[in-house]
DNA sequence: GCCCAGGGAATCG
DNA sequence: CGATTCCATGGG
């Protein structure tokens, strides 16, 4: 990794790092693409402006020392990604996903933010999850001034203590998950070190611990452990992962349940690959419909 | 209008 | 234990 200060901005020259893939892979929700390959991302109360460039990522309004102290670990940049890739089981689909998802890094986010975000995520669509979380932040998060305008931080626990189930349902449109949110917020209020304690636990302990929270089952607990604590054994199993694992089984090469040495990274690679494959199919279908409409309109005009 | 989604909890056998 | 059912919402 090579860090080059360019005025107010910092160029992070490094292999296997794409900000686009890192943000779009479903591990985090508070990002938006402002130009091609250029993203605004809010994590906790930190606003970031970043761009994919050749050979690395450009961080706007970033000091080298701040980056070293706060963001190298957050973006998992010290990890040897070649070792991660070598640790995957041998499979055609996994190889495809590795080629496709290379550059994705698993973030080490705030456990509190990840916990509430993935409680909202359950049985929900990603665009709608993002909408719910944006409402949550705009209504209950503190305003933060940034070089490009006003943003909102993720709400603090104390701010959310003031919100009742009706509020979560009516303002954030979280549906039946309103009680999960109020229940979890209450439990965290009564046990202020509840999330902090997980840092000292191993994967299994941490999972059992987190599943005490209302709205946190196996899958959500795995998301919290992976995205909030970098527990690489976690392998969040949703409908997309079940499909991917089924087709890997069908190849016949991989032993059942073998997820290699980095289950967390394997899971994110496969998830991102599956989702983008589907998205591309949809885009192609829409493009075909547009072309067809153009053709019909053209024939009419003759 | 129907199907589905980064599921969890309650209930039942 | 495992299997089933219900839950609220809105994008496709």
Q: What is the pLDDT of residue A257?
A: 80
Provide Rg for chain A, Cα atoms. Answer: 21
Q: Is the CB of A234 under 7 A from strand B?
A: no
Q: What is the pLDDT of residue A287?
A: 66
Paired with A58 in beta bridges are: A11, A51
CA torsion A106→A234→A275→A125, rounded to 10°? Answer: -100
Q: What is the pTM (predicted TM-score) of this model?
A: 0.96
Nucleotides of C under 7 A from a protein CB: 7-12
Q: What is the pLDDT of residue A290?
A: 64
Residues with CB under 7 A from strand C: A 123-125, 127-128, 131, 169, 173-176, 282
Q: What is the pLDDT of residue A286?
A: 66
- DSSP of A115-176: HHHHHHHTT--HHHHHHHHHHHHHHHSPEEEETTEEEEPPPPHHHHTT--HHHHHHHH--GG
Q: What is the pLDDT of residue A129?
A: 98
Paired with A41 in beta bridges are: A31, A48
| d(C-alpha A187, C-alpha A127), whole Å | 28
Q: Is the CB of A214 under 7 A from strand B?
A: yes
- Which nucleotide has the shortest C1'-to-CA distance from A169? C8
Q: Is the CB of A25 under 7 A from strand B?
A: yes
Q: What is the pLDDT of residue A256?
A: 77
| d(C-alpha A272, C-alpha A71), whole Å | 23
Nucleotides of B under 7 A from a protein CB: 4-9
Q: What is the pLDDT of residue A299?
A: 60
- The SS3 assignment for A215 reads coil
The answer to whether A107 and A22 are in contact (CB under 8 A) is yes
A283 φ/ψ angles, rounded to the nearest 5 degrees: -60, -45
| d(C-alpha A180, C-alpha A186), whole Å | 10
- Which nucleotide has the shortest C1'-to-CA distance from A125? B5
Q: What is the pLDDT of residue A194?
A: 98
Question: Which single residue has its CA nearest the C1' atom of nucleotide C6?
Answer: A176
Q: Is the CB of A176 under 7 A from strand B?
A: yes
Q: Is the CB of A239 under 7 A from strand B?
A: yes
| d(C-alpha A255, C-alpha A32), whole Å | 39
- Which nucleotide has the shortest C1'-to-CA distance from A178? C8
The answer to whether A171 and A135 are in contact (CB under 8 A) is yes
Q: Is the CB of A121 under 7 A from strand B?
A: yes
- DSSP of A164-209: -HHHHHHHH--GGGHHHHHHHHHHHHH-TTTTGGGGGS-HHHHHHH
The answer to whether A47 and A154 are in contact (CB under 8 A) is no
Q: Do the strands A9-13 and A56-59 form a parallel or antiparallel pair, or are they unpaired?
A: antiparallel
> What are the residue ranges in chain A where pLDDT is below 70?
285-302
């Amino acid at each position: 990794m090579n860090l080059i200060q360019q005025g107010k901005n910092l160029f992070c020259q490094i292999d296997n790092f794409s900000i686009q893939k890192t943000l779009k892979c479903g591990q985090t929700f508070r990002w938006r693409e402002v130009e091609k390959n250029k993203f605004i991302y809010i994590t906790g109360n930190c606003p970031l402006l970043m761009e994919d460039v050749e050979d690395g990522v450009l961080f706007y309004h970033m000091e080298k020392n701040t980056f070293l102290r706060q963001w190298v670990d957050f973006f998992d940049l010290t990890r040897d990604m070649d070792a991660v890739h070598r640790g995957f089981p041998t499979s055609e689909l996994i190889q495809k996903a590795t080629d496709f998802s290379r550059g994705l890094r698993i973030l080490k986010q705030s456990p509190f933010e990840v916990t509430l975000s993935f409680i909202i995520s359950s049985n929900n669509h990603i665009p709608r999850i993002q909408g719910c979380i944006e409402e949550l932040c705009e209504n209950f998060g503190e305003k933060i001034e940034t070089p490009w305008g006003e943003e909102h931080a993720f709400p603090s626990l104390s701010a959310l203590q003031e919100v009742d189930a009706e509020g979560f349902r009516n303002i954030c449109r979280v549906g039946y998950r309103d009680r999960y949110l109020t229940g979890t917020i209450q439990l965290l209020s009564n046990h202020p070190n509840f999330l902090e304690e997980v840092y000292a636990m191993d994967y299994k302990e941490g999972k059992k611990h987190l599943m005490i929270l209302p709205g946190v089952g196996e899958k959500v607990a795995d998301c919290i452990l992976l995205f909030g604590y970098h527990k690489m054994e976690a392998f969040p199993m949703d409908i997309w992962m079940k499909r991917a694992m089924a087709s890997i089984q069908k190849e016949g090469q991989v032993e059942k349940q073998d997820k290699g040495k980095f289950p967390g990274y394997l899971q994110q690679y496969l998830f991102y690959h599956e989702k983008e494959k589907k998205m591309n199919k949809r885009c192609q279908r829409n493009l075909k419909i547009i072309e067809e409409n153009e053709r019909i309109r053209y024939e009419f005009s003759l």
